[in-house]
A and B are shown apart, each in its own frame.
Chain A
Amino acid sequence: MDYNEFCNTVRNELGSFLLGVEFDEITIKETVKNNGTVETGLMISRKDSNIAPNINLKEFYGEYTNRMQEEAYHDEEVLHDILGKIADTYRQNVENMTPEDVDILYHPESVYENAYVQLVNYEANKTMLKNVPYRKYMDLAVIIRIAIRDDEKGFASAVATHSHMAQIGVNEKKLYEAALENTTKLFPPRMMKLEEMIQMLEPDMDEIPETGAYVLTNAAGRNGAAALLYAQEELETLSSQSGHGYYILPSSIHEVLLFPDDAGMPLEELQYMVREVNRTSVAENEILSDTVYHYDRESRKIEMEFPQKEVQEKEPER
């Protein structure tokens, strides 16, 4: 069963797994996500509700294909399990949403309280950026999301858009300031050696080479590249202890690497490395940039390094 067939089957058969759940329509919708990638999402909507929950089916299709490769399973059995899991995901994340959870989206004060920032590529998201408040940061853009739920089952959030913010009377300048402040508290920076981070994510792995590189992310490990915006203290401490600056390699939207600038590695080689790893080992919707940045020990500033300096543009006035 290919991905399209899988999505259509889920749409047609999920209803019987949602007994007792009030809904009017189950639809498959293609949504433009980070870097302009298109994801097929499942929308289970009610006419009397202004929210449209979007569940990405890719993870579920991945599980379906993995299990189908194991000979012990039959198509119907696997599909039944997967449909049950999708229904559970909906129940746990959406049906259990209290009116207060959804209310977050309709009141300026709760939007300010639950806003946080996300760092994305500017060029690759130009179309999306027309509709959302953002700040330009070198060749990147800082966008704002509103957190609705975050528990062991999953995470629900919505991107702040111009139309939504205008409708509920949110001031975009104030929103950005609140989002940045919230992010430093909700997602404090985390810095550790590259080897330690790999070991933490993949405990069975052995023989990880020592590189001298560090990983900067946040405590949640999700959208951690945004820590660049507020990890001044961590960067200053690392830099003053080691006595040199750092090249910043944008490994994904989830984290960046810090590599000593006195290690004798040519900048061009680092640039090539970032491009290659982005093309071969990072999901398209998780790529942050092909640019290498630099943290200067003396000035304590982060700047873009070769190339792409020409990308600097004036932010549109609002």
Chain B
Amino acid sequence: MEKITIDIEIKTDRKPDALQEYAKRIAEAQMTKTKEDGKEEN
């Protein structure tokens, strides 16, 4: 039988970099939309 590769993963604390980036970008997009909606109402 050929050798079976076993992947060993060391448990590390995941950093939420991508999630933070999404939160930032979504919040920015929502703020822009609110401003644009406000302009249209005026």
Measuring CB to CB, which residues of chain A are less than 8 angstroms from any residue of chain B? 31, 45, 50-56, 59, 89, 93-94, 105, 148, 152-159, 163-164, 167, 194-195, 197-198, 201-202, 205, 208-213, 215, 221, 249, 251-252, 254-255, 257, 259, 263-265, 269, 273, 276-277, 280-282
Contacts and interface: CB of A to CB of B under 8 A. Distances in A.
B9 A209 contact: no
Nearest to B20: A198
Interface in B5-28: 5-27
A265 B27 CA distance: 11
A133 B19 CA distance: 31
The secondary-structure label for the interface of chain A is mixed
Nearest to A152: B11
B33 interface: yes
Contacts of B24: 209
Q: List the 3 shortest-distance A-B pairs measured between CB atoms, nearest first.
A: A209-B27, A201-B16, A211-B26
A230 B6 CA distance: 26
Contacts of B15: 201-202
A199 B33 CA distance: 26
Given A163-B2, A269-B29, A273-B25, A251 B8 contact: no
A202 B23 CA distance: 14
Contact of B33 (A157, A265, A276): A265
